[in-house]
Structure 1
C-alpha cells in the first residue's frame, strides 16, 4: 500500500494538489498509478480540492481523525509549528499518510512543499 498524505492552506485548487502529489512521487520513481489512496486530516474535509484530486486520480481519500494522527506523530520526519498550531500534529501530510497506510507504514522521505500544498508518501510493506 502506498499513500500520499496531503496538507494544505485553505482554498487550494485541484491542480495544485495533483501537482504536489506528482512532484512528491517523482524522486521515488513512482507515478499516481502506484498509489492506493490520498489521505489528509479530517479537519481538511472541507477542502474540496483534495476530494476532487482523489476523484480525478480515481483514488479513495482517507480522512484521518486527530487521535490516529497523534498515534503516528512520533514517526514523522518534519516538525511544522503551523501544523502543530492548526492540527495538533507536527505534519498533517506525513501523519495522515502514515496513519492511512497502516500500522507498519513508513515514510519514504520528509514531506515536500509545493506552494500552498505539502505531500508525503508512506508505504506499508516492501520498498516500492
Structure 2
C-alpha cells in the first residue's frame, strides 16, 4: 500500500494539497492526515477519489522521520508531519519513498510511504 501523508497549515486549500502531491510524482492508494486536519483535506480527497486515513496526533511524536522541520517540531513534536502520518498509516516496517515536498504556497507538505505488504 502506497500512502501519501499530508501536513498543513490552517490556511491550506485543495490547491495546496494538489500541488504538494504533484511534487511527489506518485499516485497513492490512499492518503493520511492528522485527525484534526481531516475536515481541511476531505474535499481534496473526494475530488481525487482517495480514501483518507486519519492519524491521532499523539501517535506522531513516536515516529522517526528522515527530515526535520523546526515548525513541525515546535507545533507537533515530530520532524515532519507528512512523513510521520504516511509512515503511521502504512503500518509497521513502512519506508519513506519520497520525503516531504512543500506546496508552492508553503501551506501543505506531502510525503510518500510504502508499507511492507507491497
Q: TM-score, normalised by structure 2?
A: 0.87
Aligned length: 116
- What do residues 60-103 of structure 1 show as CA deviations (whole Å, max 9, x unaligned)? 1111113422332x2x1111111111112111100000000111
* 2:18 alignment counterpart: 18
Q: Structure 2: state its 5+ residue gaps.
A: none
Distance 2:116 2:48 in 1: 22
Q: Which has the higher helix share?
A: 1
Q: TM-score, normalised by structure 1?
A: 0.81
Distance 1:104 1:70 in 2: 17
Q: Which has the higher strand share?
A: 2
* 2:57 alignment counterpart: 66
Moved over 6 A (4+): none
